[in-house]
């Protein structure tokens, strides 16, 4: 397995190009199975999760072709309604092929997916959404089996929580339902609005995406389409923390300030400067870091996917920060590894007290999930001496060439082939 070697103490300076959003790309690739016409997707990030999802739709019979312009997926005929555990075990988002397979073929069998071990992420909201639209769904021995007797029918779907995945499932299935579907308590993440924009380009009629109430007029007349994915707000937030933690200045080209409002608010509270540029956003810090009190929430609240990065930043603040994780109950697995670097963090349930201001020292650490891995790299950028980060395959799932981008901005970082 590859490792990353980082020598801390370098101030980052320069520009970083923010890639397309992984969490937009994955549902859009799944949505390609809804239509028999080609879908061209541009601005897909070059990360292993995207390749894994392309492999999944390819296994269902879709033809995938890639060029310098983008990736085209044509699911003219689906060869199977089954996805095996081997094809879905690496990431959670593969459950998103359930709705398209069911809508196109009247039945689907999808193995329960894998992904980062950050806590329980049950599929019950996906199941309830499909049941509301007329599907029969059972879960037996690790397989979700769904079938239809007389097609999908429009309905009112009230989600028990604003789940991103369940909203995407309901949205895709509703494009095939007879009549109008209303999704209430829908997730409002920009990636879902981007999925709706992609589906609209494919022929769907959707209103309200990005709000708590989405309306879909089903029985879509599908057509060939092209869609350009939005930039990755989590990648942008990660590089913003990299600039802040090293006391440097980075321009994040392509980043959208409107997608980062809650993260920017926290950064500014901590003493970080943020302003828009012609190409994106500029992040800098020239004074001391202040502690912060934050709680992760569904969008537009502070994102759970930036919690580990802000915790790394808080270790360098002058004072104690309190970070509450309210989305995933097991998303503090990076804490012991940060403590190996010298951080002073106390856990109590779903809260972490970070006593900042002490020195961090390089050592050998191990990544436990995607965002945990990048928090260790951020801490290593300011740690005294050399840090080795093991199991960086987690990092490659969601960050496009992070080590190269950091190195171009002045970081002393290299990949050691395993």
The angle that helices 22-31 and 164-174 make with each other, rounded to 10 degrees, is: 30
From 116, 198, 316, 409, the catalytic residue: 116
- Which residues contribute to the annotated binding site for UDP-N-acetyl-alpha-D-glucosamine? 92, 121-125, 305, 327
d(CA 175, CA 181): 9
Please report which helix (H) or strand (E) contains residue 102, including its range: helix 98-105
- Which residues contribute to the annotated binding site? 22-23, 92, 121-125, 305, 327
- Which residues contribute to the annotated binding site for phosphoenolpyruvate? 22-23
d(CA 111, CA 353): 38
**Is 198 an active-site residue?**
no
Query: How many CB atoms lie under 10 A from the CB of residue 42?
Result: 13
Strands of 62-187, DSSP E: 63-66, 71-74, 82-83, 107-111, 136-140, 143-147, 156-158, 180-184
Tell me how long the chain is.
418
Q: Which residues pair with 245 in a beta bridge?
A: none
CB-CB contact of 292 with 307 (8 Å): no
d(CA 119, CA 371): 14
What residues act catalytically?
Answer: 116
């Amino acid at each position: 397995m590859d490792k990353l070697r980082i020598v801390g103490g370098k101030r980052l300076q320069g520009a970083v190009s923010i890639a397309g959003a992984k969490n937009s790309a994955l549902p859009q690739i799944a949505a390609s199975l809804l239509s028999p016409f080609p879908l061209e997707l541009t601005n897909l990030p070059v990360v292993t999760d995207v390749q894994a999802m392309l492999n999944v739709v390819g296994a269902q019979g879709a033809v995938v072709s890639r060029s310098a312009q983008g990736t085209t997926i044509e699911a003219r005929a689906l060869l199977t309604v089954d996805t095996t555990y081997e094809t879905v075990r690496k990431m959670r988002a593969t459950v998103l092929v359930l709705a398209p397979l069911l809508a196109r073929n009247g039945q689907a069998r999808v193995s329960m997916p894998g992904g980062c071990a950050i806590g329980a992420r049950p599929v019950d909201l996906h199941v309830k959404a499909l049941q509301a639209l007329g599907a029969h769904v059972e879960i037996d021995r690790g397989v979700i089996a769904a079938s239809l007797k007389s097609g999908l029918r429009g309905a009112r779907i009230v989600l028990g929580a604003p789940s991103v995945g369940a909203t995407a499932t309901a949205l895709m299935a509703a494009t095939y339902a007879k009549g109008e579907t209303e999704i209430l308590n829908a997730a409002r993440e920009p990636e879902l609005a981007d999925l709706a924009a992609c589906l609209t380009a494919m022929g769907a009629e959707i209103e309200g995406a990005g709000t708590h109430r989405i309306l879909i007029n089903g029985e879509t007349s599908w057509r060939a389409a092209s869609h350009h994915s939005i930039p990755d707000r989590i990648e942008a937030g990660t590089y913003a923390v990299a600039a802040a933690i090293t006391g440097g200045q980075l321009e994040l080209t392509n980043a959208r300030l409107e997608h980062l409002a809650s993260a920017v608010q926290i950064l500014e509270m901590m003493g970080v400067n943020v302003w828009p540029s012609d190409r994106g956003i500029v992040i800098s810090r020239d004074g001391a870091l202040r502690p912060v009190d934050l709680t992760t929430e569904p969008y537009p609240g502070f994102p759970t996917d930036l919690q580990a990065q802000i915790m790394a930043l808080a270790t360098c603040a002058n004072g104690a920060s309190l970070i509450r994780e309210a989305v995933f109950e097991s998303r503090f697995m990076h804490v012991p590894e940060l403590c190996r670097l010298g951080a002073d963090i106390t856990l109590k349930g779903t809260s972490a007290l970070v006593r900042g201001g002490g020195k961090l020292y390089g050592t050998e650490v191990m990544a436990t999930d995607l965002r945990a891995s990048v928090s260790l790299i951020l801490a290593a950028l300011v740690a005294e001496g050399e840090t080795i980060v093991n199991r960086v395959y987690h990092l490659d799932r969601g960050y496009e060439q992070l080590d190269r981008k950091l190195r171009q901005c002045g970081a002393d970082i290299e990949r050691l082939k395993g």
